[in-house]
A and B are shown apart, each in its own frame.
Chain A
Amino acid sequence: AQKVTQAQTEISVVEKEDVTLDCVYETRDTTYYLFWYKQPPSGELVFLIRRNSFDEQNEISGRYSWNFQKSTSSFNFTITASQVVDSAVYFCALSESPHRNTGKLIFGQGTTLQVKP
């Protein structure tokens, strides 16, 4: 069975600190996708990144970076120089194999990040 674990329920940092959100997943599929979504206090879900299981290159987008390690089944998310606007709940999600073509996602429990000024 597929599973996503975000062990950090809540994280609190002071502005400008770096913070890493952990995501560990379990799957028997050899091909899959991993995602990160952001849910700000307003409640909507915002797509951040999609990663194919064959692509283990780290990705950087501005202050955001993602570290995908297939060997440890982890897909961690780092925010550099955090800002108050980064305060949100962050979800990691795992898809079924694309061969099944359902797009079904399994979400982690979410990590609430609070960035204090």
Chain B
Amino acid sequence: NAGVTQTPKFRVLKTGQSMTLLCAQDMNHEYMYWYRQDPGMGLRLIHYSVGEGTTAKGEVPDGYNVSRLKKQNFLLGLESAAPSQTSVYFCASSYSGRAEQFFGPGTRLTVL
């Protein structure tokens, strides 16, 4: 059981470049989430999904898009990266809206 995995672990982008972060879980969880962590601000929800084929906006969705084509995968896209998107990104999953979330190891993204 790998739990929640994220690829890549590190990435450096130039302003304006695009990229996709991949989150995969092998726990058959319905719910998946993308957060960003910035110093002194805790974790903030970007987008989330309550099931395959569904997505919804979180607290800070601007500049990001997501897709949940398969139950086990949740992709986070940056179409045109900006320095303000420099952050650590965490993916999480849970089996229901009432359960604890299990987190991936994080992706450290730097936008120059």
Interface residues of A (CB under 8 A from B): 4, 6, 9, 33, 35, 37, 43-45, 47, 50, 91, 93, 95-96, 98, 100-110
Contact = CB atoms under 8 A, between A and B. Distances in A.
Interface stretch (B11-19, B76-84, B92-100): B92-100
B42 A103 contact: no
A37 B92 CA distance: 13
B103 interface: yes
A48 to B, nearest CB: 9
B100 A35 contact: yes
Contacts of A33: 98
A104 B48 contact: yes
Interface string B49-77: 01000001011000000000000000000
Contacts of A98: 97-98
Given A91-B42, A103-B48, A107-B35, 8 more contacts: A45-B90, A47-B102, A100-B97, A102-B50, A103-B94, A103-B96, A107-B42, A109-B42
